[in-house]
């Protein structure tokens, strides 16, 4: 685990000294948008027109943020149009790597060993964390974006003319409601589990834990009244929650000390996570081996023995009751 400073790799863990033991996630720096006609998106510069086979996605199967982009690539029928490289689940002194003996697909574009080389290929003097997902443009030979919340919005609409798929997970009339839920889910749940697990003081941990379970209680209540987070149609908000829920009992409950209760102990959330897991195509985006191996093996400051737990034994393919909602 480390970061680039002026293009040089430095192996260092997150610094929580200046924030009272609290983990603060770095804001993604590369924020261009692919659009249907190549015009500029809400941030960054233009020139990234949606075209078949022009773009490449770098992901980790362990990472909940990268998982969102894999889900949208699948749901929006983009697999044949956007190629893919998968990093190794082990994120050690050189950060994300492409070691194929550890489960990486290899780097399909440059045959690099490490993800930080992809970042310095894009900008030789880059400074910042080397995160996944990354959307790469083969034409301009650079990174379009390293922000998952924006990559999924691009996938949601930009390629519609190419795929013929017009499903809309961020429909105009629900955007306000989706943004409101996203904010709570991001702060308290998606990032909340990390704030709990990476906290280095008791106070910072307890604060994150309290917010996390208060937000999960809120989700549980919403899902008692309606099938999905913003009504009767599935939206982006559901997929953003899903990638944390599916990791919860395997990793966050134990490794990140999010242990007031398991996800399995929430009557609505346990059924809801099954419905999303069983959604056509989604099972193929979930890899529990990479998920467990990544967290328990890579975070040596939390789990120095690197022993990866065998359980839990949960059947996400078992029937759910969400159609009765
Ligand atoms: N804002 C980014 C966050 C991505 C992120 O933090 N990814 C993690 C993996 S789960 C990562 O690559 N961490 C490496 C690091 O922080 O050095 C996004 O949502 O795309």
DSSP string, 209-263: HHHHHHHHHHHHHHHHHSSBTTBSS--HHHHHHHHHHHHIIIIITTTT---SS-G
The architecture of the domain spanning 3-163 is 3-Layer(aba) Sandwich (3.40)
| Catalytic residue chosen out of the listed positions 55, 58, 63, 228 | 63
How far is it, in rounded angstroms, from Cα 46 to Cα 41?
7
Domain segments of the chain as ranges: 3-163, 172-285
For the question of an ipTM over 0.90, the answer is yes
CB 75 within 8 A of CB 86: no
Active site includes 63? yes
C-alpha of residue 161 to centroid of ligand 1, in Å? 30
Ligand 1 center to 321 CA (angstroms): 34
Q: Whose CA is nearest to atom 6 of ligand 1?
A: 131
Q: Which CATH topology does 172-285 take?
A: Glutathione S-transferase Yfyf (Class Pi); Chain A, domain 2 (1.20.1050)
- Atom 14 of ligand 1: nearest residue by CA position: 131
Which residue has its alpha carbon closest to ligand 1 atom 5?
131
Average pLDDT over residues 4-30: 89
Q: How far apart are CA 143 and CA 260, in angstroms?
A: 40
Q: Which residues contact 17 (CB under 8 A, 6 or more apart)?
A: none
Burial of 200 (0-12, 13-18, 19+ CB in 10 A): middle
Per-residue pLDDT reduced to its tens digit, 180-238:
999 999 999 999 999 999 999 999 999 999 999 999 999 999 999 999 999 999 999 99
Is residue 26 over pLDDT 90?
A: no
Active-site residue, selected from the candidate residues 14, 112, 186, 194 = 194
142 C-alpha vs ligand 1 centroid, how far in Å? 18
Q: Which atom of ligand 1 is nearest to the CA of 115?
A: 12
């Amino acid at each position: 685990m480390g970061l680039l400073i002026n293009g040089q790799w430095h192996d260092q863990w997150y610094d929580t000294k200046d924030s009272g033991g609290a983990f603060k996630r770095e804001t993604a720096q590369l924020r261009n948008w692919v659009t249907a006609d190549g015009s500029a998106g809400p941030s960054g510069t233009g020139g990234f027109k949606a075209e078949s086979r022009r773009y490449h996605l770098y992901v980790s199967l362990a990472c909940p943020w990268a998982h969102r982009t894999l889900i949208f690539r699948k749901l929006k029928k983009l697999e044949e149009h956007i190629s893919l490289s998968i990093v190794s689940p082990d994120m050690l002194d050189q950060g994300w790597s492409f070691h194929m003996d550890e489960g990486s697909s290899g780097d399909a574009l440059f045959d690099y060993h490490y993800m930080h080389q992809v970042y310095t290929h894009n900008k030789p003097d880059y400074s910042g964390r080397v995160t996944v997902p990354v959307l790469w443009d083969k034409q301009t030979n650079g990174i379009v974006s390293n922000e998952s919340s924006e990559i999924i919005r691009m996938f949601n609409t930009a390629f519609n003319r190419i795929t013929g798929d017009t499903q809309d997970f961020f429909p105009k009339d629900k955007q306000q409601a989706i943004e409101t839920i996203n904010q709570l889910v991001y702060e308290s749940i998606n990032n909340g589990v990390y704030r709990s697990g990476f906290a280095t003081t008791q106070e910072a941990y307890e604060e994150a834990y309290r917010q996390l379970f208060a937000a999960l209680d809120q989700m549980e209540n919403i899902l008692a009244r309606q099938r999905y987070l913003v009504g009767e149609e599935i939206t982006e908000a559901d997929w953003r929650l899903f990638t944390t829920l599916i990791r919860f009992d395997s990793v966050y409950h134990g490794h990140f000390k999010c242990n007031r209760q398991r996800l399995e102990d929430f009557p609505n959330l346990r059924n809801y996570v099954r419905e999303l897991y069983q959604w056509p195509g989604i099972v193929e985006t979930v890899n529990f081996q990479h998920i467990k191996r990544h967290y328990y093996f890579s975070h040596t400051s939390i789990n120095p023995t690197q022993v990866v737990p065998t359980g839990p034994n949960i059947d996400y393919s078992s029937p759910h009751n969400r159609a009765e909602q």
